[in-house]
Structure 1
Amino acid sequence: MSFDLPRNVILPVDKVDVRLDPGPHPFERDNAEAIAENWRREMGANPALFDGTVVLLSALAYRDGGLVGRCHAVKYSTFMLWRKKREASGAEHAYAHAMLVAGDNALVAIRMGAHTVNAGRVYFAAGSFEPIDFRDGLVDVDFNMIREVREETAIDLSGAERGRRYHALSTPSGTVIFRRYRVNEPADEIARRIRAFVATEAEPEIEAPVVIRDATDLPDGLMGHMKPLIEWHFTGGDEVP
């Protein structure tokens, strides 16, 4: 199976069957010394980094309207080296975005904090899949989405109206799985709540909320994968809002 899915096109996804393999990822197993050396350099540049556990894919394919794949738990230090050696690594990254849609149809994204790896970059509140996001070895994408939004913004999307399916955009730098989550409050009120939460945090992960009101309203620092998602939303996508 390896990595077999269309690139740079938004795909409708009715099922995500990505499973956690208990074995080591070959990239981590074969690059232990390089991972350790790179981590020493990363920590020297940013001592706030934490070598937690995330997952990396060893296979992902698009089959019959769904994503099928295999991933392995790895150290964050492994992920950091992989970011520099993606080509021919035998590994890829997948992550999820809850596309937060306000009652006035604006999108609410976030700008990452200065101490983070993606400092100053803008995207929807999100984080890599972690072992906690798996149920009986199968990834629970919505659990990951809701957990990450709550942790970064204190917004609880568990009761929000969800889009009827996932969508995915795969690029050489990673595959984002996303879904609309609609809430009733206008964007300015959601942004106010997020700013109030950030103000209470000693070391907030995000700097501030970012409201996006139309397809041309593109903020500075926008991550490359975000522009197609924003355009998709404001042109209606392929689902009924």
Structure 2
Amino acid sequence: MTPPVIHRVTTLDMSFRPRPWPFAEVRRTEIDAHFAIKQRETPNIWNGRILLARDPVFAGDRFSAGYFEADFASFLAWRDWGFPDRGVFNGFGMGALRCRDGAFVMGEMGRHTSNAGRIYFPSGTPDLDDISDSAVDIPGSVVREVEEETGLTPADYRAGAHWDCVVSGAAIAMIRILNVDLTGEELRARIEANLARQRQPELVAIHLVRGPDDLTAAMPRFVAAFIEAHVGRSA
């Protein structure tokens, strides 16, 4: 498998261009059957509308792509079947929470989610709520996901000026460092307290990552590549 590649940019130019997805149309019956199985395994997942992308272009300090609407069942099948449509990618934002002692904070997804057991930064596949004036607002998506998963708002962190766009197979993770003026242990305790107040939190555990030795197999390749690139760096 090709190693992840990181492009550092300052501008995300994400447009929304409605278009059909032939994969989802041609394999509809198989997709629905696959999703029915997944729902029996994980009853809380639902077939909402999400955004996937095509035509990624990195030019200078700009990353551009065009998003289209799809249903979650089709996305899940596409993912689970090895990404059969190579012209499509999953482009999502991530908030890399970095504490004043250098620790990065990640969450472990709960058993009721479609990514159970995976460990990574707050993130989510963009959806229709992220569309504004025919553009996809990835920075806004990151703000929302960070608050939903951890309880932190923009008042709690300082966002970096750059995005590290990590290209890993059919995924492009647009990662922005969010600097928090707490130690790793302090931030972990704060997030855990927030999770304890939720009826069914997305996260079941909070992990601190200070370097490559803290990486595990539960962390996606794009997260590992990001950590390895940023150990010892300043924002």
Common topology (TM > 0.5): yes
**Shift of residue 55, structure 1, vs aligned partner:** 0.8
2:52 counterpart residue number:
56
Q: Tell me by how many angstroms 1:87 deviates.
A: 3.1
CA distance in 1, matches of 2:12, 2:70: 21
Residue 19 of structure 2 corresponds to residue 23 of structure 1: yes
Query: Cα gap change, 1:158/1:178 in structure 2, threshold over 3 Å: closer, same or farther?
Result: farther
**Residues 220/93 of structure 1: CA separation in 2 closer, same or farther (3 Å cut):** closer
**What does residue range 166-181 of structure 1 map to in structure 2 within 5 Å?**
166-181=163-178
Map of 1:210 onto structure 2: 207
Matched, 1:128 2:136: no
Structure-2 separation of matches of 1:108 and 1:45:
29
Picking from 66, 72, 76, the partner of 2:72 is: 76
Mapped partners of 2:185, 2:174: distance in 1: 26
Q: Is the 8 A contact 1:109 1:210 kept in 2?
A: yes
Alignment of 1:224-239 (within 5 A): 224-236=221-233
- Residues 32 and 87 of structure 1, relative CA distance in 2, 3 Å threshold: closer
Which residues in structure 2 correspond to 1:133-148 (within 5 Å)?
133-148=130-145
Post-superposition CA distance 1:170-209 (Å, at most 9, x none) = 1113110111110111111111111111112221111011
- 1:51 is displaced (CA, Å) by 1.1
TM-score (norm 1): 0.90
The answer to whether the 8 A contact 1:27-1:90 is kept is: no
Deviation (angstroms), 1:42: 1.1
Q: What is the rounded CA distance, in whole Å, between the counterparts of 2:61 and 2:195 in structure 1?
A: 38
Structure 1 unmatched runs, 5+ = 1-5
Match for residue 107 of structure 1 among 98, 104, 107 = 104
TM-score computed with the length of structure 2 as normaliser: 0.92
Q: Secondary structure at the match of 2:211?
A: coil
* 1:13 lines up with 2:3 in the alignment: no
**1:27–1:20 Cα change, 3 Å:** farther
- With over 3 angstroms needed to count, the CA separation of the structure-2 counterparts of 1:46 and 1:93, relative to structure 1, is same
Superposition CA RMSD, Å: 1.8
1:26–1:58 CA distance, 2 compared to 1 (3 A): farther
1:137 is aligned with what amino acid?
S
Question: 1:121 & 1:7 partners in 2: Cα distance?
Answer: 19
Give secondary structure in 1 for the equivalent of 2:77. helix
User: Hey, what does 1:46 align to over in structure 2?
Assistant: 42
Measured in 1, the distance between the counterparts of 2:215 and 2:87 equals 33
Identity of matched residues, %: 25
Structure 2 gaps of 5+ residues are: none
SS at match of 2:96: strand
Mapped partners of 1:50, 1:67: distance in 2: 31
- Cα distance in 2 for partners of 1:122, 1:220 equals 9
Question: 1:220 offset after TM fit, Å?
Answer: 5.3
